[in-house]
Structure 1
Amino acid sequence: MKVNVINDQNIKKIDIKKIKEVVKTVLKQEIGDRSFEINILITNDNTIKEYNIYRGKNEPTDVLSFAYGLDEEVIGDIVVSVETIDRQCMEFGNSFEEEFFYILIHGVLHIVGYDHETSDQDAQTMFELQDNYFKQLIKLSN
């Protein structure tokens, strides 16, 4: 398993090693330790807004996940905007780092097939899982 992280912003200090550890842990627990790659782009609002055009939105979001399939060499790409996360972290009572990893976990869960937009039950399952990983990997370590 290879986690590629591209830090294309200088707004916030980002712990690349911790990103790789968290992503690998979630992926191992969800789909096992297999041979694949996942790409993570850490960027700003302008860049994520450009990617959002593919979703028919003309605005920045906190995270975008592009899943290519779990049998592919590259299973997906995740794009994260530190500017959006920085704005919303206070709203949720998290530090920037906590909110960053909460959102990153969300993106990884989309890559492995979870979707909160298909049904209320699917949303509940995904958000419970996201909360559990957050508590296990981030909240208890702070």
Structure 2
Amino acid sequence: MSRAARPPLSLSLQFADARHREHLPRHRVARWVRSALDLPGEITVRIVDEDEGRQLNHEFRGKDYATNVLTFDYSQEPVVSADLILCAAVVAREARELRIPVADHYAHLLVHGTLHAQGWDHETSDEDAEAMEARETEILLGLGLKDPYRRRR
């Protein structure tokens, strides 16, 4: 689907942790999320601190640490409805480790989370992981960003 024909998006952008607000202007977040949508979407993006990220990851996944992105998907058709929770401290740390701009890492994680909201899953099999990584790479290259998996191969 061409960028001009991307599905409509209703976006709520929330900052419980505002340290990265300058990296996440609404128009960029909308572009990144919309680039991964195949259907109309109602997406909330919430940037949280490490405490909230850890609490949510523990409560919903049984993991006692903050992770980079959590996807809570509520419906996939006819409208993709989801909450994407990103932990600012984890995103910053990973971006430093990867030696990439924080905004580029947010773009990748928002694409990743949006794909999860539509049923993509990298934890079910190696084939599913490869398919999801290929789709993420295709989207990110279309946004003018680098292949996030190239450095790991």
TM-score band, normalised by shorter chain: 0.7 to 0.9
Deviation at 1:73, TM superposition (A): 5.9
Specify the code of the residue in structure 2 equivalent to 1:43: V
CA contact (8 A) 2:73 2:117 kept: yes
Q: Aligned partners of 1:86, 1:117: CA distance in 2, in Å? A: 24
Equivalent residues, number: 135
CA contact (8 A) 1:64 1:79 kept: yes
Specify the code of the residue in structure 2 equivalent to 1:17: H
Give 1:70's aligned residue.
76
Q: Does 1:83 align with 2:114?
A: no
CA contact (8 A) 1:3 1:24 kept: no
Mark the runs of 5 or more structure 2 residues left unpaired by the alignment: 1-8, 147-153
Mark the runs of 5 or more structure 1 residues left unpaired by the alignment: none
C-alpha distance after superposition, 1:39-63 (max 9, x if no partner): 1111221111111121101100000
Give 2:149's aligned residue.
none
The partner residue of 2:103 within 97, 100, 106 is: 97
Q: Does 1:45 align with 2:50?
A: yes
Q: Aligned partners of 1:68, 1:48: CA distance in 2, in Å? A: 19
C-alpha distance after superposition, 1:95-132 (max 9, x if no partner): 11111111111111100110000000000000111111
Q: Aligned partners of 1:131, 1:72: CA distance in 2, in Å? A: 25
CA contact (8 A) 1:82 1:100 kept: no
The partner residue of 2:16 within 4, 8, 11 is: 8
Give 1:139's aligned residue.
145
Deviation at 1:138, TM superposition (A): 4.4
**TM superposition outliers: structure 1 runs of 4+ over 6 Å:** none
% same residue:
25
The partner residue of 1:130 within 128, 131, 136 is: 136
Specify the code of the residue in structure 1 equivalent to 2:74: Y
Specify the code of the residue in structure 2 equivalent to 1:123: A
Q: Aligned partners of 1:105, 1:73: CA distance in 2, in Å? A: 17
Normalising by structure 1, we get a TM-score of: 0.86
